[in-house]
Amino acid sequence: MHPAAHSPAWSGVLFDLDGTLVDTIALIVASFDHALTSVVGAGRPEPEVRAWIGRRLGEVFASEYPEQAQELEATYVEWNRAQAPLLIRRYDGVEDLLRGLLDVHQRMGVVTSKRRGAAIQALQIAGLDGLIDIVAASEDTTAHKPEPAPLQHGAARLSVPIEQCVYVGDAVVDIEAARAAGMASIAVTWGAGDPEALAVAGADHLVESPAALYALLLGR
């Protein structure tokens, strides 16, 4: 992707991380399975686990296993950190997407339910850490997706009004958070989310490749 005569369609672009910029899906599913089998003695069906992606880890465990939530989270985090270099994958075209957006001076950042350390690690492993300056992580707000607070915080970090921002994500909670914030939303279909569910959630746009996302973000 090369610099284009087009200018960005939105003043600010905020990206979800897991399943959107970085392929962490296999790592997350395996981490949940490890934590659940270690602490509870049994995992959960993969479709259920994939539906948890995008939510804050502590909230998932608190709602599903309140008695063992802290032990589950600690077990998950330790195993996840150790396995990340082995299981995180790049999505073809995402680096080109980000470099192309930098070429047209797009203001952009990441808003993730991950903790900051894990988010930075994922970006580094995928070779994207030099392309994203602003990372809004779970520590930055007390409310989390699908609440609007993380996206509002991300827009403030970009110094761009909410109505001039778009949020790009792969999960229903991403679309719900964008709607709650009064922000445009783009759902990508290469992550954990089901395309039909993303459409039903009210995504303004649905894209199937980083190249298609690039064209949309440049108003083509």
Distance (Å, rounded) from C-alpha 90 to C-alpha 131? 14
Residue corresponding to tokens 């954990």:
192
| Residue 97 DSSP SS3 | helix
Tokens of 155: 């827009």
Q: Which residues of 18-28 are buried (b: 16+ CB within 10 A; e: fewer)?
A: bbbbbbbbebb
Q: Annotate 4-40 with DSSP letters as a single string.
A: -S---SSSEEEE--BTTTEE-HHHHHHHHHHHHHHHT
Amino acid, single-letter form, for residue 33: D
Angle (deg, nearest 10), helices 69-87 and 25-39 = 140
Distance (Å, rounded) from C-alpha 10 to C-alpha 152? 15
Tokens of 67: 């008695």
Cα-to-chain-centroid distance, residue 169: 6
Residues annotated as catalytic are 16
